[in-house]
Chains A and B, each alone.
Chain A
Amino acid sequence: MIPAHVHPAAPVERDPHYNFGYLDESTKRMLRRALLKAVAIPGYQVPFGSREMPLPYGWGTGGIQVTAAIIGANDVLKVIDQGSDDTTNAVNIRRFFGRVTGVATTESTRDASIIQTRHRIPETPLGKGQIMVYQVPIPEPLRWLEPSETETRTMHALAEYGGMHVRLYEDIAQYGHIATTYDYPVMVNGRYMMRPSPIPKFDNPKLDHSPALMLFGAGREKRVYAVPPYTSVKSLDFADHPFTIEQWDECCDVCGSTNTFLDEIILDDQGTRRFVCSDTEYCAHHAAGAEDKKEPAQQRAAAARVDASTIGHIPAGAAS
């Protein structure tokens, strides 16, 4: 059921020339089979017969195919790029799904049943029944250690991951820090090494034991993989060099948050800059919430709204 207050953010009309979700039904079935296998083997890269999509490779064709395979008429879709609903690529993908599915779209993390993302996990904690779909450029975490796909598949089969630890160790030896800041490798369910897609390592802890289902699609490389809900996702580290996330001395200039990932905005050529939340929806919500404190009635209403929206959030696509 679509919560009443979800705005039809996309004024795009459903184009009847295309099948629901653009892909034909047999392609969707092929994708769902691959996704089921991916969920059954957390972190394992499942090859699939990726199709040419009407958006270019590198623009999120893997994520788009995954979303197209799981989306149902009652789903509510949110699309973000760099944490924002308004970046051109996110707008374009949201319009695409508006055109080929006609589903409701939203900017609210809480209201969405499917969130397709590039490079971020929303700051608002995800809930049970929600699905995150990640756009993945290069799915193979070992690719920069070993360019050959034949070799890396063997390395995964043997869980031969020592090379990655050596690489991280060399960073520490040379720079005093692990110099990987995004797409930071993780171990999933204690078995497979996985690239979390190019999210900043700031977002890595959000993957661990998340109540949401995480699906990853790499269209050009023709791989899907998954982290099922409540699955262990551990960022690689060492006992004496534990994993840490980015921190800023500044807080968000708009909403005052001190615990979010910040974008740096350059204001002039004299080095003046300000920092704002990368997650624009969270930022707007947080800024509004700060004002709400003056008006307890409104705040209560907002809280009630949130509760209502989280009820009955079983994505239709997941069951189909």
Chain B
Amino acid sequence: MYVAVKGGERAILNSYDMLDDYRRGDPALPELTLPQIQAQMPLAVSRVMAEGGLYDTHLAALAIKQAAGDLIEAVFLLRAYRTTLARLGSSIPIDTARMNIQRRISATFKDVPGGQILGPTYDYTQRLLDFTLEANRHTTPLAPADEPLAAAMPRVTDILQHDALLQAEAPLPGDPAPFDLTREPLSLPAGRDARLQNLARGDEGFLLAMGYSTQRGYGNTHPFAAEIRYGSVEVELFVEELGFSVTIGEIDVTECQMVSQFAGNADAGPQFTRGYGLAFGYGERRAMSMSLVDRAMRATELGEAGDAPANDQEFVLYHTDNVEASGFVQHLKLPHYVDFQASLELLRRLRSERDAHADTAGVAAPDASTRPAPAPAPLPQAQEFTS
């Protein structure tokens, strides 16, 4: 009796236990705690919060621990949790001009009001493995600076906009509520609100590659990093009953604003245009990539050629999501016996018909053996349907 597919339930339950053991590793070592992950792997926590679309360092750390460090799996865990949460309200837009700055740099001006603030960055580290980290190392915290940061730290793009050198970003007429990608299916052409939401949760590797492709000539936008800033901002909620907004918390965000040249058109003279990137936590690579891709997707509306992959809204927006992509790529390990059997049946039939044809041809031409074998007929493309 054929029983190979039986027993799935017990196997599944056993696989849970094996996974637990695998994740835990050597039980002689102390178990990772969530505060350790939150404090010592903040960049992993940032990425999981950004792509998970949920700002919660504790839950992100839990997801990272549960996923044994697989960040895409952690993103998935956080997303699946997030869908179950009720919506209590919408915050008023955060104001990054009022950010409590940790880092702020501009690549377009040597000095800007408020100054260039390096903050914590890997940029100028020499990438030499630091063997002193092999052991627990005691570090003395940096003494506070002699003078505090400037209270006013205007965004470089605001300065450019003041001179009308940068295209203004005005709310749409009537200031409609933004599209909500987590509640509505994407429809095309997508508005910039939907595009930015999509990019904000998009896979960092994909955004990086798409942004990179524009730099290498596939839809170049000649970008400059007008400003990158990282720090904490207040989140405010307008409470109807009170009639004013109250601060409900603070979140860390990274913002990148790229400016790109624009030749101008009948409505506007030559101007800089903006590509915008925003990420939960500290995620500079992600915010920069996002701003490049955002600008690339505006090519058509700005009258540019728009024929590169990064310019193609549909191509970019349908492929950013790593939860979708990871699931669909990996579903190929699910059984496909039935489809495969259907293909096998066809292939056998085609081959036997071909052999029969070759046999009759051989009878008609006795010297067939001396001739080169006929070129094999192309077999049908393995059906490109995925299932």
Which A residues lie at the B interface, using CB under 8 A? 18, 22, 24, 47-54, 56-59, 61, 81-84, 86-92, 95, 118-120, 137-138, 144, 148-150, 171, 174-177, 179-183, 197-202, 220, 222-223, 246, 248, 253-254, 261-265, 274, 276, 278, 280
Given contacts A56-B330, A118-B334, A197-B387, 6 further A-B contacts (CB under 8 A): A49-B183, A52-B323, A91-B9, A175-B377, A176-B353, A261-B341
* A residues less than 8 Å from B183 (CB atoms): 49
The reply to whether B385 and A175 form a contact with Cβ atoms under 8 Å apart is no
The reply to whether A49 and B331 form a contact with Cβ atoms under 8 Å apart is no
The reply to whether B339 and A182 form a contact with Cβ atoms under 8 Å apart is yes
A201 CB → nearest B CB, Å: 7
**Contact residues, B331-353 vs A (CB, 8 A):** 331, 334-339, 341-346, 349-350, 353
**Contact residues, B160-208 vs A (CB, 8 A):** 182-189
Taken together as a complex, chains A and B put the C-alpha atoms of A90 and B318 apart, in Å, by 28
The reply to whether A148 and B314 form a contact with Cβ atoms under 8 Å apart is yes
User: Counting CB contacts under 8 A, is B222 at the interface?
Assistant: no
The reply to whether A87 and B5 form a contact with Cβ atoms under 8 Å apart is yes
- In the complex, which residue of chain B has the Cβ closest to the Cβ of A81? B335
User: Counting CB contacts under 8 A, is B386 at the interface?
Assistant: yes
Task: Decide: A198 near B337, CB < 8 A? Known: A49-B183, A222-B185.
Answer: no
Q: Which one, B2, B327, B350, B380, contacts A56 given CB within 8 A?
A: B327
User: Counting CB contacts under 8 A, is B24 at the interface?
Assistant: no
- In the complex, which residue of chain A has the Cβ closest to the Cβ of B378? A174
User: Counting CB contacts under 8 A, is B109 at the interface?
Assistant: no
Q: Which one, B314, B323, B327, B330, contacts A150 given CB within 8 A?
A: B314
* A residues less than 8 Å from B185 (CB atoms): 47-50, 222-223
Stretch from B80-88, B92-100, B241-249 that touches the partner: B80-88
The reply to whether A220 and B82 form a contact with Cβ atoms under 8 Å apart is no
* B residues less than 8 Å from A253 (CB atoms): 2
- In the complex, which residue of chain B has the Cβ closest to the Cβ of A17? B84
Taken together as a complex, chains A and B put the C-alpha atoms of A301 and B84 apart, in Å, by 46
B341 CB → nearest A CB, Å: 6
Task: Decide: A56 near B76, CB < 8 A? Known: A177-B350, A182-B342.
Answer: yes
User: Counting CB contacts under 8 A, is B384 at the interface?
Assistant: yes
* A residues less than 8 Å from B330 (CB atoms): 56, 58
Taken together as a complex, chains A and B put the C-alpha atoms of A1 and B384 apart, in Å, by 44
User: Counting CB contacts under 8 A, is B21 at the interface?
Assistant: no
The reply to whether A84 and B5 form a contact with Cβ atoms under 8 Å apart is yes
- In the complex, which residue of chain B has the Cβ closest to the Cβ of A195? B385
A-B contact count (CB 8 A): 168
Q: Which one, B1, B8, B79, B385, contacts A144 given CB within 8 A?
A: B385
The listed residue with most B CB atoms (<10 A of its CB), out of A22, A58, A263, is A58
* A residues less than 8 Å from B136 (CB atoms): none
Which B residues lie at the A interface, using CB under 8 A? 1-2, 4-9, 11-12, 76, 79-80, 82-84, 86, 182-189, 314, 318, 323-324, 326-331, 334-339, 341-346, 349-350, 353, 377-378, 380-381, 383-387
* B residues less than 8 Å from A274 (CB atoms): 2
The reply to whether A120 and B323 form a contact with Cβ atoms under 8 Å apart is no
The reply to whether A175 and B380 form a contact with Cβ atoms under 8 Å apart is yes
* B residues less than 8 Å from A248 (CB atoms): 345
- In the assembled complex, 7 residue pairs joining A and B whose CB atoms fall closer than 8 Å, in A order, are A52-B82, A149-B318, A182-B338, A182-B387, A262-B341, A263-B337, A264-B341
* B residues less than 8 Å from A276 (CB atoms): 2
* A residues less than 8 Å from B328 (CB atoms): 57-58, 137, 220
* B residues less than 8 Å from A118 (CB atoms): 334
A123 CB → nearest B CB, Å: 13
Taken together as a complex, chains A and B put the C-alpha atoms of A248 and B11 apart, in Å, by 32
* B residues less than 8 Å from A246 (CB atoms): 342, 345
Taken together as a complex, chains A and B put the C-alpha atoms of A222 and B338 apart, in Å, by 25
Task: Decide: A198 near B384, CB < 8 A? Known: A53-B80, A54-B80, A91-B9.
Answer: no
The reply to whether A56 and B338 form a contact with Cβ atoms under 8 Å apart is no
* A residues less than 8 Å from B11 (CB atoms): 88
Task: Decide: A171 near B79, CB < 8 A? Known: A89-B335, A182-B385, A264-B341.
Answer: no
Taken together as a complex, chains A and B put the C-alpha atoms of A174 and B103 apart, in Å, by 63
Taken together as a complex, chains A and B put the C-alpha atoms of A174 and B380 apart, in Å, by 8
B323 CB → nearest A CB, Å: 6
Task: Decide: A202 near B342, CB < 8 A? Known: A84-B5, A254-B2.
Answer: yes
Taken together as a complex, chains A and B put the C-alpha atoms of A167 and B378 apart, in Å, by 16
B59 CB → nearest A CB, Å: 14
The reply to whether A179 and B5 form a contact with Cβ atoms under 8 Å apart is no
* A residues less than 8 Å from B4 (CB atoms): 265
Q: Which one, B338, B349, B385, contacts A261 given CB within 8 A?
A: B338
Taken together as a complex, chains A and B put the C-alpha atoms of A149 and B188 apart, in Å, by 8
- In the complex, which residue of chain B has the Cβ closest to the Cβ of A150? B188
